[in-house]
Amino acid sequence: MDAITVIRAKRDRGELTPEQIDWVIDAYTRGEVADYQMAALNMAILLNGMNRQEIARWTAAMIASGERMSWDSLSRPTADKHSTGGVGDKITLPLAPLVAACGAAVPQLSGRGLGHTGGTLDKLESIPGWRALLSNEEMLDVLDSTGAVICAAGDGLAPADKKLYALRDVTGTVESIPLIASSIMSKKIAEGTGSLVLDVKVGSGAFMKTLEDARELASTMVELGTDSGVRTVALLTDMSTPLGLTAGNALEVRESVEVLAGGGPKDVVELTLALAREMLDAAGLKDADPAKALADGSAMDVWRRMIAAQGGDPDAELPTSREQHVITAPSSGVLSRLDAYDVGVAAWRLGAGRARKEDPVQAAAGVEIHAKPGDAVQAGAPLLTLHTDTPERFAYAIESLASAYEIAPEGTAVDPNPIVMDRIA
């Protein structure tokens, strides 16, 4: 076979055969198919789609490109969570130790930022000493000793997806439902978790802009997981407004620790608890009370042990940016809209994300949010604070925020979307 024939088949809206899919995934993993050829195929898939049979085979081929893990030696049931990505989505950080504090084992294999959305590993790497790369033996040891591990997928786990993930980020092909579904589920199925809860984001700051597209993605992933023997459920959650009050790396870690300490923004706490209850239910731990574990400090205890077990110092000072710029409210009234996508792009332009797959990220870069939709604001009061180590980025970030917010007259009623919009099982 050859890459050009496969690209043309999908370019011309044909159905890829199982043999074509198996070959192109294997050949790309081995380096026989070049990045630019796979980028062309990814774009053809984004534009023309895949049917369920193609998606299932594509997922299976990515799983077959590497090893499959097992957690059978653990005494706890395993439960995992995956978010399709959003702005200010730091939920994994408080969620994993919270669910572990309630009796489940959480093998959380996470990724880096994609486009305007942040990456869990990028956030945690702002903690001095913390390591994302663990061997399988180290992962098992951390999981066994603390109940939770958050780390990068090893080179042996779905290596095809590792290459594709980085390529999609820099070629404008992140938003494809087949590629998102197969990327997520190949890793999660190969990871060997017994149950999986999917957080499928909906809105301007998500890759799925509409409920219809989000339901299609969620249904596709639930079907892939169920067919592979993984108990899978999906929540559709709002991403029209940034989650919490920060978008960045160290900024979001700081906010996550506030949640574990019993505080933090209301929306972050609400979603953390909703996902925790789903994970515990899927793991057969229906009687566990995550709200109690958050309130009594046991989730914080797991967090500290988990960070330390991966080389991090839970007491270390987090990085702060060398430069800040404050955007103030142009008038008094009620903040009626704060667009998640625009805020995410601003954080990315400030240095919190990547323009190329090999780019580093700034640990301290990002956006601090001082008001959310429904809040009263005063003219001249801070709306957003921009953080970066490179002040020449401010103008480019400010440009992305020109139409990011609206202020309605005083007394205007603003009815934000519910955090959890639907459930698919």
Return d(Cα 327, Cα 383) in angstroms, integer: 6
Return d(Cα 44, Cα 39) in angstroms, integer: 9
Tokens of 261: 């300490």
Location of structure tokens 């969570």: 81
The DSSP H or E segment spanning 21 is helix 18-30
Return d(Cα 382, Cα 323) in angstroms, integer: 16
**Residue 386 · residue 369 · CB < 8 Å:** no
Q: Is 417 exposed, middle or buried (0-12, 13-18, 19+ CB in 10 A)?
A: middle
Query: Rounded to 10 degrees, what is the CA torsion of 350, 352, 355, 357?
Result: 160
Return d(Cα 77, Cα 248) in angstroms, integer: 32
Residue 279: name the closest of 147, 417, 184 by CA.
147
**Residue 70 · residue 235 · CB < 8 Å:** no
Tokens of 306: 């988990």
The string of DSSP codes covering 196-228 is EEEEEEESTTSS--SHHHHHHHHHHHHHHHHHT
Return d(Cα 310, Cα 96) in angstroms, integer: 14
The string of DSSP codes covering 358-389 is T----TT-EEEE---TT-EE-TTSEEEEEEES
Q: Is 351 helix (H, G, I), strand (E, B) or coil?
A: helix
Instruction: Give the β-pairing of 106-110 and 382-388.
Output: unpaired
Residue 147: name the closest of 189, 96, 194, 223 by CA.
96
Q: Name the amino acid, one letter, at 358.
A: E
Q: Is 36 exposed, middle or buried (0-12, 13-18, 19+ CB in 10 A)?
A: exposed
Tokens of 423: 């459930």
Instruction: Give the β-pairing of 333-338 and 246-248.
Output: unpaired
Instruction: Give the β-pairing of 420-424 and 231-238.
Output: antiparallel
Catalytic residue numbers?
Answer: 82, 161, 168, 183, 187
